[in-house]
Amino acid sequence: MGAKTIESLEGKLIVSCQALPAEPLHSSFIMGRMALAAKEGGACGIRANTREDIREIQSQTDLPIIGIVKRDYPDSEVYITPTMQEIDELMEVRPAIIALDATGSLRPQGISLDTFFGQIKEKYPGQLWMADCSTVEEALHADALGFDFIGTTMVGYTKQSRGDKIEADDFGILREILAHVRHRVIAEGNIRTPEMARRVIELGAFSVVVGSAITRPQLITKAFAQALEG
């Protein structure tokens, strides 16, 4: 972790700086500069994908990083930090927090979240972990397992949460999670405006992650272009 501490994230903005291989900005160099721009704009943390991107971001900023590796496996729906290989890669650059899919889906080779979390906690006992969840039940389970941070990252992106929206009913899913978990909650997923970011902090989220609304110019442009098309 850099000079900044985890406590510096409380009540603050974390910017997700990611670009997958098929996206125009896919480049560790670009993500490093994106993270620097986010810091200049007031971000207090960064969420980033891959060891290479994180290493470059660490050369540009001292902000705490939530690290992930997105990788597809043919025998699993889990793609956010799915196996020990991705954990080992991330530990080469030691992000402040490592996030992983904490949904009910089995990991590659049929490994359950409970088994996998036990393995990574045993191998890297000093590391902080974030659970990327899609339902209240998954969040409660991750909390009971002992994840340091509970995230709403996957709401609406899994079979069990299809149709759910993070902002529905004044962030009803988030409010229910906040009411029942003991670990810190990071609001993430489809938070598209400054007002939405402010609201989740008012409700009690420890931090808020914003990605596409800040760092994916093709999607930002699309919203403007579609508005003009009527």
CA distance 81 to 70: 6
**pLDDT reading at 216 higher than 90:** yes
Number of independent structural domains in the chain: 1
Q: Indicate whether 211 belongs to any domain.
A: yes
Kindly give, in sequence order, each residue whose CB lies less than 8 Å from that of residue 177, ignoring residues fewer than 6 positions away: 133, 136, 139, 140, 150, 152, 185
CA distance 31 to 162: 30
Positive or negative torsion for Cα 153, 66, 58, 193? positive
Query: What CATH number did the domain enclosing 146 receive?
Result: 3.20.20.70
Q: Indicate whether 60 belongs to any domain.
A: yes
DSSP state of 48: E
- Most distant CA pair in the chain: distance in Å? 55
Q: Indicate whether 135 belongs to any domain.
A: yes
pLDDT at 5: 87
**pLDDT reading at 2 higher than 50:** no
pLDDT in tens, 158-206: 999 999 999 999 999 999 999 999 999 999 999 999 999 999 999 999 9
Taking alpha carbons only, the member of 71, 142, 155, 154 closest to residue 107 is 71
pLDDT at 197: 98
* Whole-number average pLDDT of the chain: 97
- Mean pLDDT along residues 2-24: 91
Q: In 3-state terms, what secondary structure has residue 148?
A: coil
pLDDT in tens, 116-167: 999 999 999 999 999 999 999 999 999 999 999 999 999 999 999 999 999 9
Residue-number span of the structural domain to which 177 is assigned: 6-229
pLDDT in tens, 90-118: 999 999 999 999 999 999 999 999 999 99
Q: Indicate whether 38 belongs to any domain.
A: yes
CA distance 195 to 51: 32
**CA end-to-end span of the chain, whole Å?**
47
> pTM for this one?
0.96
- Mean pLDDT along residues 203-225: 97
pLDDT at 12: 98
Count other C-beta atoms under 10 Å from residue 23's C-beta: 13
Confidence of residue 10 (pLDDT cuts 50, 70, 90): very high
Residue 125's region, left for phi above 0, alpha for psi from -120 to 50, else beta, is alpha
Positive or negative torsion for Cα 190, 4, 99, 51? positive
Q: Indicate whether 1 belongs to any domain.
A: no
Q: Indicate whether 58 belongs to any domain.
A: yes
Count other C-beta atoms under 10 Å from residue 182's C-beta: 8
